[in-house]
Chain A
Amino acid sequence: GNSVTQMEGPVTLSEEAFLTINCTYTATGYPSLFWYVQYPGEGLQLLLKATKADDKGSNKGFEATYRKETTSFHLEKGSVQVSDSAVYFCALRANQGGKLIFGQGTELSVKP
């Protein structure tokens, strides 16, 4: 079946460090891929997305590239800030009418 696997957290970084959160997926066909972010006490909100292979989604300094050959959609940011502290969820939609399938979430804590 379709599934999403993320690296386990929590991830703790110092401000201005480089961030990578790994995400791999299993799906039939050509899924759309998403990163959602959940700030403390809030609901999830879309961070970025990619709908086909080799697409790069980007927003707020975060980037992720849809790699079909490695079935991955790793999230990266060159220089994190304290305000980036949140839980990050990788998700896929396997087909046009399908429902979102979420990974387990990765908590990021950025220290000043």
Chain B
Amino acid sequence: DAKTTQPPSMDCAEGRAANLPCNHSTISGNEYVYWYRQIHSQGPQYIIHGLKNNETNEMASLIITEDRKSSTLILPHATLRDTAVYYCIAKPSGGSYIPTFGRGTSLIVHP
């Protein structure tokens, strides 16, 4: 199972793009990259996932490098409500694999 590495903390100005990196250099071909976030004292919330291609939804964009060894979650216009811990997880397609949530990146959006 691929281990992911994220910076422990980042900060971003409100209204600017927040770019959260994740390294997953040992990711295998059938492992998807998932992103979740956890706002203080709430349950984690699914954001987005992808395999090879870049993905975009109403919450964020996911950019995966061509070699799939790293990815970046982009919040295009960060708001104060985006302050949270962001988790990057590598998960194989199918099967009963249960992902492990590490310490993630604590993103603070400031005014």
- State whether these chains interact: no
